Structure 1
């Protein structure tokens, strides 16, 4: 599929969510594809069939969504979506300036968001990118205090991270100094995107947000904004990859290293 196909697929899913029930293929094609300026008739029906990825359940000549049949994450399973903002790219020479995470478990959502005092000046280009200034973090806690607060939320959870190697490169050595070994299963949404969206040549968060038709991303390059976007794209890809076969997220993950 091309990136445009992924966007059209997501618009089909969004329409089904809005009506909350299965729809005949022809009706779905006319209501959604024709609304995009595409012609009606058999051509639209053929295109519809090419757009039905793993998110969609087909029953006879009707289309629904697998998310109506099983949840993400599975009952009894916890996932944590997290993101950090930093003063630069080097875990050895730079520091964390913001940490955010969302924990989902049994239908409950817990949000954690903290600014972090990095103990060093924030470079001007980082302030321009994130909007986080030196005066914003002057009275914030250090990273070890913030991680101590966040640790209970990581317990027994599968971590979902966009470009996981970057965030873990900062988090793991600092957690080790607290005596905590991070061995949670980890989903890198870039890895999921390679499998779920093979037609994409770029798999950064902006590219994934575009492919899933999320519109302008609020809070981009702030930790919580990026976490919320990562959660949205991860949820879509989970159903694309499981395609009607409920699977614990941990089974679709790798161990943190």
Structure 2
């Protein structure tokens, strides 16, 4: 109960103190005129995110609600959020998120959220080539720069009072989690303590070998896992929602191979405080 009260207090403080803020018009600016990312100040949330974000009211095609082999009477009341982000680079302290996508694997209505984000800095060409996200797509005044208001609203609409939220991503411990923590820190807040995180990269290391001669070191990335399970997803490669669709299917296959139960998933989860070390 104390944990729930602390989370509600944090959420209320956020929503009661998030003044609207005009987005900086970056469209058409050259890289030389873009602001220095190191000059950004900590600030409260912007509320101008409603029009450009997408809350899907249907299930992702081909993705079925997850059912663990052994069920718990509490598992269906806990959101299981598969998510992925795209960024301007790999070093968390020097870069920003450009796209956020999430799908609740327990399904139900309004189970998908995705949005592009204005990083307020240049997207390097080598990143744009990989992620298919460039300056023309995100460095525009009509693209929001803050993801947290809608993200918190999405979670609040799915969370059962007194229950945690489980976030699942591939390499969340070293990449997605630290970037998410940075977004909270940039807004002078912390990740809610009842958010737990599961890294499917760590789960992949526990999968049995397909062949005795197989070198497991090269089979932990998401692409290799998709090949292992014969998973193919249409759409722009390496975009956040396409990665989420892949991971949703991979995670369900992995859960079966590992005989993963709800209780076992909770044992794999790490607390939000784990990411505080990346903010130092």
Taking structure 1 as the reference length, the TM-score comes to 0.65
- Structure 1 equivalent of residue 167 of structure 2: 159
Match of 2:144 among 117, 141, 145: 141
Higher strand proportion (structure 1 or 2): 1
Does the alignment pair 1:176 with 2:185?
yes
Q: 1:130 to 1:242 in 2, by over 3 A?
A: same
Which ranges of structure 2 fall in alignment gaps of 5 or more residues?
1-65, 157-163, 275-280
Say which SS state the counterpart of residue 196 (structure 1) adopts. coil
The residue that corresponds to 1:115 in the other structure is 116
How do 1:20-59 residues align onto structure 2 when only pairs under 5 Å count? none
Match of 2:270 in 1: 254
Corresponding residue for residue 185 of structure 1: 196
TM-score (norm 2): 0.60
Residue 148 of structure 1: CA displacement? 1.4
> What is the aligned residue count?
189
Q: 1:88 and 2:71 equivalent?
A: no
Q: Which structure shows the higher helix fraction?
A: 1
Moved over 6 A (4+): none
Contact 2:82 2:167 in 1 (8 A): yes
Max Rg structure: 1
Deviation at 1:106, TM superposition (A): 6.2
Residue 68 and residue 231 in structure 1: after superposition, are their counterparts in 2 closer, same or farther (change >3 A)?
A: closer
**Partner residue in 1 for 2:227:** 210
Aligned counterpart, 2:239: 222
Matching residue within 201, 223, 248 for 2:217 = 201
